[in-house]
Amino acid sequence: MTAPVEKAEESAGAQMHALVERLYPLCRSITGDGVRATLDIVGEYLPLQVHEVPTGTQVLDWTVPQEWNIRDAYIADATGHRVVDFAASSLHVLGYSVPVSATMPLAELREHLHTLPEQPDLVPYRTSYYKPEWGFCLAQETLDALPDGDYEVCVDSTLADGHLTYAEHVVPGQVADEVIVSCHVCHPSLANDNLAGIAVAVFLARALAERNPYYTYRFIFAPGTIGAITWLARNRERVHTVKHGLVLACAGDRGDLTYKQSRRGDAEIDRVLRHVLAASERPHRITEFTPYGYDERQYCSPGFDLGVGSLSRTPYAGYPEYHTSADNPDFVSPEAMADTLAVCREACTVLDGNRRYVNLSPYGEPQLGRRGLYDALGGRSDTKDAQLAMLWVLNLSDGEHSLLDVTERSGLPFGAVAAAADALLGAGLLKE
């Protein structure tokens, strides 16, 4: 269920859906030209720093694999008709299939075919990244209709030394401390997992660029698992600057929002997302961290233990379209992506505004009237809340409590508390 969207968010939703549709036909994997083509399109929306890491590079406990590229693949019957065709969908080929050109009987071919018997009209998504194999994915009903006989099999691919490609976009902030926003770019024609996440990340970056954020925001577009591991390996010396982070995935289906907490469980990003989702009164779920899922498990590995959570709508494997041909652009909605984007923007607003202050007049309540603070509230519809927010901020500004602490304790909106802090700071009653 999505919340009602504003007109600007509705426009962003339509643009994000258009981006998903553009990216959908490309054949992505953990390496190769499909990733580069994807980043080329993202680069039309955001300036990117693209990194190419050579095959064989040691990255933590892993090694950058050989690069995979594919030009064509098919299974053809005796008449030459392609009964399975990579040109129709990139899902039809087992990811990282090694080259093959052969003719074989259906009985032998079956060993290399992948279907979903329980969803007979859908094509599954399957890969074999680290074991040299070849194969095809097809609908069970297509397989059932194939007569016995010989079939021509062709996978025109290369698996050779090359590079792993990932990209970054940085929105400069007032401080060097960073918030990372990460999404994976390795899945082929799957709209929710994870093209919707890419689209939301792109439009979040553009929204942040229109304001002057407190934190520096680093957007990471990388292949799943090996890409995040590569980024961590190459940024090990500066990873201490990452104060908060969010992994975006499955961001466009019509289910309720789900926030998976960081390994810490009480990281600031966890508190912020819990607050934003609760305050918005959206139906949502908060789940505990598990070392399975998307790249939050890399950022939250014990050696790094970064405060990184994951935001999605229906979680991975939680919807029947997951990793099938049914995860197409019709499955994701502009409204759902706009709703996910709105929550991300709200979370960034709270993160940026969540400071700790010290009351410079802590002995008794300072006189606010002679400082013009009450007069400044005249005519506001929320005058009472604004006055109360000032008193709460003054009372809890002891250097130990953040504005989010004040918000949770007072029950007032974060925006009112942050505005009160700004007013008190301007009147010389607070220091950061």
Give the pLDDT confidence score for residue 374 in this predicted structure: 72
Model confidence pLDDT, tens digit, residues 155-190: 999 999 999 999 999 999 999 999 999 999 999 999
Give the pLDDT confidence score for residue 369 in this predicted structure: 84
Q: What domains does the chain contain, in order, with CATH numbers?
A: 7-65+163-353 (3.40.630.10), 67-160 (3.50.30.90), 356-431 (1.10.10.10)
Model confidence pLDDT, tens digit, residues 110-124: 999 999 999 999 999
Model confidence pLDDT, tens digit, residues 369-402: 888 887 655 555 567 888 899 999 999 999 999 9
Give the least confident one: 8-22, 46-60, 61-75. Answer: 8-22
User: Known binder of ligand: residue 323?
Assistant: yes
By DSSP bridging, strand 150-160 and strand 136-137 are unpaired
Give the separation between CA 106 and CA 108, rounded to whole angstroms. 5
pLDDT at 10 over 80: no
Give the pLDDT confidence score for residue 8 in this predicted structure: 67
Element (H, E) at 245: strand 242-248
Mean predicted lDDT score pLDDT of the chain: 95
Closest CA to 20 of 273, 228, 202: 202
Both tokens of residue 172?
A: 């400069």
Percentage of the chain modeled with pLDDT above 70: 96
Model confidence pLDDT, tens digit, residues 11-53: 999 999 999 999 999 999 999 999 999 999 999 999 999 999 9
User: Known binder of ligand: residue 284?
Assistant: no
Contact indicator for 191, 328 with CB cutoff of 8 Å: yes
Assign 3 a pLDDT band (cuts: 50, 70, 90). Answer: low
Q: Where are the beta strands (DSSP E) in 252-397?
A: 257-260, 284-287, 308-312, 356-359
In the predicted model, what is the mean pLDDT of residues 238-265?
Answer: 98
Give the pLDDT confidence score for residue 6 in this predicted structure: 63
pLDDT at 9 over 70: yes
User: Known binder of ligand: residue 305?
Assistant: no
In the predicted model, what is the mean pLDDT of residues 322-331?
Answer: 98
Half-sphere exposure of 301 (CA within 13 A, CB side): 14
Q: pTM score, two decimals? A: 0.95
Give the pLDDT confidence score for residue 377 in this predicted structure: 54
Closest CA to 150 of 117, 183, 102, 196: 102
Residue 134 CA: distances (Å) to CA of 147, 180, 367: 22, 36, 77
